[in-house]
Amino acid sequence: MRDVAVIGVGMTKWGELWEKSLRDIFVETALMAFDDASIDKVDSMYVGSMSSGLFVGQEHIASLLADYLGQANIPSTRVESACASGGLALRLGYLEVASGRSEVVLVGGIEKMTDVSGYEATYALGTAADQEYEGYHGMTFPGLYALIARAHMEKYGTTREQLAMVAVKNHHNGSKNPLAQFPFEITVDSVLNSVMVADPLRVLDCSPITDGAAAVILCPAEMAQKKDKPVVKIAGSGHATDTIALSSRKDITWLEAVYKATQQAYKEADKGPEDIDIIEVHDCFTIAEICVLEALGIVEKGKGGDAVEQGLTSLKGKIPVNTSGGLKAKGHPVGATGVAQAVEICKQLWEEAGERQVKKARVGLAQNMGGSGGSSVIHVLERA
């Protein structure tokens, strides 16, 4: 297996993109990555997309998007793993280059979520849960994560204010990201007084419905050395699954798929949590970030809330988390999120992150998650 590097990234502003179609959003974003990498063709492509059929009525998007990108006839694959679709697409692209099967691979993620009603969007997202044992009984993802939050609060003493601090931190970071859906600050009071969605989670604890795409270009690391940018390689990759239903887990406050995938990625990269400088985590709800920090080994079990309150994960903290604004402020077009996390890590390692730049960042970690933790993908990226 050979080393794999990222030589170009692309991402346009996320939000409610009424005037653009799914193919428009993807092609615009992919061409930005082409320009950034100074290429005009790829050997193959992988596209992460969770529910294009339910959101826009379009399946078979691997063929569609390769065609409209001007890359017809190349191998093109649509990847689905719920909200971890983008991260899994990145892993598959990475493995293809590492194996020597392809030299240059485009990895993209796309979702167009706002062309349907709120009810239809909720249904589409709910398909990532257990339909017979959760969906049938009316459970939604805010409800599932509310159960996780309540259990974490009861077991470890995590406070309602600590949950709010996650949202405040990520909106602060997002206010420095011109591509974010919600680039503005909020306060703990505004979170605590926002509309209740599923107790204890309020609307400002929840990531939004978003249209958007992200793309990266992968190639062998030795090829990347010929480019002007510093070489950023994927040092480690991990992938794991867990039971899809919360009721089947021994402890719903613990994300076993995240833990297992992280251990794989750490081992492959020859790194540990102490080596990581920046992290992008899957904060679909504020409690998710707290639980993920624990599964990554950044803090001990039950200490995720304390880490946020103590400023450990702030932009100027010991280990900044979600410098992009995270899913909470940047947005969450479900199939694109995992790729966008890699985009942010690369920008940080290339020192191209603008106002939110973390000084001397050399190793970053991206954690993408499907459903309530039924799947997770981890990538460790390192500046050579």
Write out the catalytic residue numbers. Answer: 83, 332
CA gyration radius for the chain? Answer: 19
Angle subtended at Cα 135 by Cα 134 and Cα 138, rounded to the nearest 5 degrees: 95
Name residue, tokens 């979520």. Answer: 113
HEC string of the chain equals: CCCEEEEEEEECCCECCCCCCHHHHHHHHHHHHHHHHCCCCCCEEEEECCCHHHHHCCCCHHHHHHHHCCCCCCCEEEECECECHHHHHHHHHHHHHHHCCCCCEEEEEEEECCCCCHHHHHHHHHCCCCCCCCHHHCCCHHHHHHHHHHHHHHHHCCCHHHHHHHHHHHHHHHCCCCCCCCCCCCCHHHHHCCCEEECCEEHHHECCCCEEEEEEEEEEHHHHCCCCCCCEEEEEEEEEECCCCHHHCCCCCCCHHHHHHHHHHHHHHCCCHHHCCEEECCCCEHHHHHHHHHHCCCCCCCCHHHHHHCCCCCCCCCCCECCCCHHHHHCCCCCCHHHHHHHHHHHHHCCCCHHHCCCCCCEEEEEEEECCCCEEEEEEEEEC
Measured between alpha carbons, how far is 380 from 384 in angstroms, rounded to an integer? 13
Residue type, 22: L
